[in-house]
Amino acid sequence: MATNCTNIAPAPALRGASVWVTLSGDEAASIFPLLEAGQPCEIVSSSKIGYIDFVDTYGHRFRMKPAQPDKACDSDTPGILKEDELITITT
């Protein structure tokens, strides 16, 4: 089953590094019970694949690590995960 969420804050997305995906409070409340480290996720605009490596319930965000260490979890704009970016998480 797949769940979609929307990043609400732009974040730097460097090659090989995890990127923070920030959710609204309401969205975080409904999605966070389904999330755990190791789940695959995809950035829709760029088709970049990664995995959740940390869930920060207090900050309403999670970290997405690129599936390949030489890649970045960025949007269609290199080096940045844009605001309003749709992310699909396989639960």
Q: What is the CATH number of the domain that holds 79?
A: 2.40.30
| 1 pLDDT higher than 90 | no
Q: What's the domain range around 72? A: 2-90
pLDDT tens track for 16-48: 999 999 999 999 999 999 999 999 999 999 999
List strands edge to edge, sheet with 40-43. 2-6, 86-90, 40-43, 48-56, 61-66, 19-22
In total, how many domains does the chain have?
Answer: 1
pLDDT at residue 91 tops 90: no
8-state DSSP, 39: -
Average pLDDT of the chain?
Answer: 95
Q: Model-level pTM?
A: 0.94
